[in-house]
């Protein structure tokens, strides 16, 4: 693997899931791999899980780790040919070139603006790092994808599934703010390669980009979609058309005990952070079927599997 920005960078995603499970069994089996190697984590946006799990994953492999919060540094310019006489102080060409001299792997998190679909879906910040860094780039979540989250989700499903090919439902849920589509886009992309029967359910008006939905069946009735489900993966996202908006929804799409009772004793999953009693009821998230904590725990082994694979090639 030369970089990790989407499932398309991974030649065998199932093998990567198995690698993460092996690292979970023996997290300190490769502490020499990262000796004298440095991972730089660059955050344009906040994080709890991604930052801590990736730092620990790098340390478990013996790497040095440095983290840069971009808000504390120079404001970066991404457009080429700009006359930089306004707010931006440093061009990504120099910034990525400099960081590449200090790091063996560069990992980057940047959220979308949710104002201009074309701009966000061009994934400008991640692409600029991929273009101008001279070391492998890892996505810690971009404007349109969150592949480390999806890898951890697949690991969790692999651990908890009760039969070879479970039914997995990705369900929209309400949220007070307009949120990115990245987690849901990525989840679709990874689950389309997993041994699962995947169903997508959301209110009309919240259709995801067709390039991510692909052939995944869409059911607009949440309760119908939940029938026979063995995993309910919940996430809010804002509309793709009109981009970044929150069209009114008539029914209540919150994940409740009554809705979980319609499933085949399904597990509840969410990437966190989650708004309790808006996205999901206290009763569901605190039930024995809730996987939110093991799912977050698996972020460590997902990150470790990715960094290990990259370090084996640097
Ligand atoms: N799920 C996730 O990426 O969490 P953070 O935003 O806290 O990193």
The pLDDT, as a whole number, for residue 314 is: 85
- The answer as to CATH 3.90.850.10 being correct for domain 7-146+298-311 is no
How far, in Å, from the CA of 212 to the mean position of ligand 1? 21
Question: What is the domain partition of the chain in residue ranges?
Answer: 7-146+298-311, 148-296
User: Residue 108 in contact with residue 139, Cβ under 8 Å?
Assistant: yes
Long-range CB contacts (< 8 A, 24+ apart) of 173-176?
A: 173/234, 173/235, 173/236, 173/253, 173/254, 173/255, 173/278, 173/279, 173/280, 174/236, 174/249, 174/252, 174/253, 174/254, 174/278, 174/279, 175/236, 175/275, 175/278, 175/279, 176/275, 176/278
Using 50, 70 and 90 to split pLDDT, how confident is the model at 4? very high
Atom of ligand 1 nearest to the CA of 109: 8
**Closest ligand 1 atom, CA of 146?**
3
Q: Do domains 7-146+298-311 and 148-296 have the same CATH topology?
A: yes
Q: Name the CATH topology of 148-296.
A: Rossmann fold (3.40.50)
By alpha-carbon position, which residue is closest to atom 7 of ligand 1? 48
Mutate to test the pocket of ligand 1, among 42, 45, 48, 153 (most ligand atoms within 8 A of CB): 48
Q: Taking CB atoms and a 6 Å cutoff, what residues make up the pocket around ligand 1? A: 47-50, 141, 149, 271-273
For a mutational test of ligand 1's pocket, the pick from 46, 49, 111, 302, i.e. the residue with the most ligand atoms closer than 8 A to its C-beta, is: 49
Question: What's the 245 CA to ligand 1 centre distance in angstroms?
Answer: 22
The answer to whether the predicted template modeling score (pTM) of the entire model surpasses 0.85 is yes
Digit-coded pLDDT (tens) for 62-91: 999 999 999 999 999 999 999 999 999 999
Give the residue, by CA position, lying nearest to ligand 1 atom 6: 47
Q: What are phi and psi of 87, to 5 degrees?
A: -80, -30
Q: What is the pLDDT of residues 11-28, one digit of tens each?
A: 999 999 999 999 999 999
pLDDT band for position 191 (50/70/90)? very high
């Amino acid at each position: 693997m030369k970089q990790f920005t989407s499932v398309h960078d991974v030649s065998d995603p199932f093998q990567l899931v198995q690698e993460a499970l092996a690292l979970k069994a023996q997290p300190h089996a490769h502490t020499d791999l990262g000796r004298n190697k440095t991972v730089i984590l660059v955050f344009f946006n906040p994080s709890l899980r991604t930052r801590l799990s990736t730092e620990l994953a790098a340390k478990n492999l013996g790497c040095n780790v440095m983290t840069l919060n971009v808000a504390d540094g120079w404001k970066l310019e991404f457009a080429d040919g700009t006359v930089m006489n306004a707010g931006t102080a440093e061009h990504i060409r120099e910034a990525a070139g400099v960081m590449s001299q200090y790091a063996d792997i560069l990992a980057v998190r940047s959220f979308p603006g949710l104002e201009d679909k074309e701009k966000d879906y061009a994934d400008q910040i991640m692409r600029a790092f991929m273009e101008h860094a001279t070391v492998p780039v890892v996505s810690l979540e971009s404007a349109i994808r969150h592949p480390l989250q999806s890898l951890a989700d697949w690991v969790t499903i692999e651990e908890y599934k009760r039969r070879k090919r479970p039914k997995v439902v990705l369900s929209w849920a309400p949220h007070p703010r307009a949120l990115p589509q990245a987690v849901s886009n990525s989840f679709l992309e990874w689950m389309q390669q997993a041994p699962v029967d995947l169903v997508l359910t959301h209110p009309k008006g919240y259709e995801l980009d067709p390039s991510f939905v692909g052939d995944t069946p869409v059911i607009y009735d949440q309760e119908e979609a939940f029938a026979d489900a063995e995993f309910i993966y919940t996430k809010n996202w804002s509309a793709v058309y009109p981009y970044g908006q929150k069209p009114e929804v008539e029914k209540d799409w919150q994940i409740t005990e009554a809705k979980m009772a319609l499933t085949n004793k399904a597990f509840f999953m969410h990437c966190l952070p989650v708004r309790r009693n808006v996205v999901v009821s206290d009763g569901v998230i605190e039930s024995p079927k809730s996987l939110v904590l093991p799912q977050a725990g698996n972020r460590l082994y997902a990150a470790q599997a990715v960094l290990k694979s990259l370090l084996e090639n640097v």
